[in-house]
C-alpha cells in the first residue's frame, strides 16, 4: 500500500526527528520504505501495510502542517519516484553492463 503526505518546508526538522525515532521498534519508519521529495512542500512517500499507516498518521499529526495528499497528487508523486528509480537502475546497469 502506498500513500503520500506533505508538510510545509519550515517543519522539515520535525519530520526528520519523527522519521529517526526508535529505529528498532516494530512500528518504526526505519523498517518501512519511505522517500522524501522537496518541491513547493516536503512530500513523504510511504510504502507499508495498514497497521503501519495508522501508527504513521498518529505520529505525523504532531506536525502542524501535516496532510495526506489528494489521490491525483499521490499518483503524480508515486509516478515520479518510480521513474527516478527506473532511471537510476538503468544508469547503474550501464556502469556494470
- Distance set, CA 73 to CA 21, 41, 68, 69, 79 (Å): 27, 12, 10, 6, 10
Residue 61, pLDDT above cutoff 80: yes
Query: Which long-range CB contacts under 8 A does 79-85 form with residues at least 24 apart?
Result: 80/37, 81/35, 81/37, 81/45
CATH code of the domain in which 83 resides: 3.30.70
Q: Are 23 and 30 in contact (CB under 8 A)?
A: yes
pTM of the model: 0.88
What is the tens place of the pLDDT at every residue in 67-84? Answer: 999 999 999 999 999 999
Residues in the chain: 97
pLDDT at 94: 53
The pLDDT tens digits of the residues spanning 23-54 come to 999 999 999 999 999 999 999 999 999 999 99
Domain count, the chain: 1
Domain of 58 in residue numbering reads as 2-96
Amino acid at each position: 500500500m502506498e500513500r503520500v503526505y506533505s508538510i510545509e518546508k519550515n517543519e522539515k526538522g520535525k519530520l526528520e526527528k519523527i522519521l529517526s525515532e526508535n529505529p528498532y521498534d516494530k512500528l518504526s519508519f526505519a523498517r518501512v520504505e519511505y522517500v522524501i521529495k522537496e518541491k513547493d512542500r516536503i512530500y513523504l512517500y510511504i510504502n507499508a501495510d495498514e497497521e503501519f499507516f495508522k501508527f504513521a498518521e498518529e505520529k505525523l499529526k504532531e506536525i502542524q502542517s501535516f496532510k495526506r495528499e489528494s489521490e491525483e497528487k499521490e499518483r503524480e508523486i508515486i509516478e515520479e519516484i518510480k521513474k527516478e528509480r527506473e532511471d537510476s537502475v538503468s544508469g547503474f546497469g550501464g556502469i556494470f553492463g
